[in-house]
Structure 1
């Protein structure tokens, strides 16, 4: 099993097979528009633009499970991301990342990279998962870890063949 086995709805409501990104390095992030970490959108977009020509992509998954910090509908989220941060990376429909209704992709990511305490729970918005070219999760980053601070890991992942 890998991330390529999953499908997710784009923020525009279309089904996206993650298999379409086979061979890419991915950074999958649960996001929110009204969070103290929301300024990380800027760093995520910087990573996307810097590395996209090397088969890299950031995937944003809005989530309202933490303090109700993503209350808007998909069209509002898309508008916010475009006007406030000029986001060009793929954004997906709002998902749950914890609990029975968690998106299957996030259930898989948490199982493979359960985090520091091993609970598997995602503690807050802007938890990041780095995925290798083979579709396997390489590393999990806490919300406090800034996107620009993980560039060495991205470079290492990009240097590896699928």
Structure 2
């Protein structure tokens, strides 16, 4: 298992492989997302945080996931269109991944190992958030019900 966040890679919604070493020195918020979830309006709050703090070094990474109630059934194109049209998302979105089970994306294996939650290492639902410091260390995990504006102080403390 990789032991450093910057060793990971993932494929963007546009099909481009992104090396996480490009995020070195940034404060990172990783979120598993879904387009048809009760928490989907959190995209708006995430985008506000992104716009407000990106110049200070905040990076938000969104990973669509269809493992909870079939709430992300769309194609990459449909996901991208929904994020942009409905919420004006400009932060980095990736291709759909799994966050639990045998096919869990390696970055979520890493994050869940470092920061367990209410269900142990399993992710409970869409919009679970992981905050990492500028050295790539996972420092805090937030439940799906935690709205982005509620984690602003934690983000500011790391910036």
Instruction: Give the match for residue 149 of structure 1.
Output: 150
Q: Secondary structure at the match of 2:92?
A: coil
Which of the residues 92, 97, 113 maps onto 1:90? 92
In structure 2, list runs of 5 or more residues that go unmatched. Answer: none
Instruction: Give the match for residue 126 of structure 2.
Output: 125
TM-score, normalised to structure 2's length?
0.97
CA deviations over 1:81-140 (Å, ceiling 9, x no partner): 0000010000000000000100000000000001134x1000000000001100010100
CA deviations over 1:1-32 (Å, ceiling 9, x no partner): 22101000001111001110100001000000
In structure 1, list runs of 5 or more residues that go unmatched. Answer: none
Instruction: Give the match for residue 137 of structure 2.
Output: 136
Q: Distance in 2 between matches of 1:140 and 1:2?
A: 17
Q: Distance in 2 between matches of 1:100 and 1:135?
A: 25
Which of the residues 89, 109, 115 maps onto 1:107? 109
Query: Does 1:37 pair with 2:39?
Result: yes
Query: Does 1:14 pair with 2:16?
Result: yes
Q: Count residues with an aligned counterpart.
A: 157
The CA RMSD over aligned residues, in Å, is 0.7
TM-score, normalised to structure 1's length?
0.95
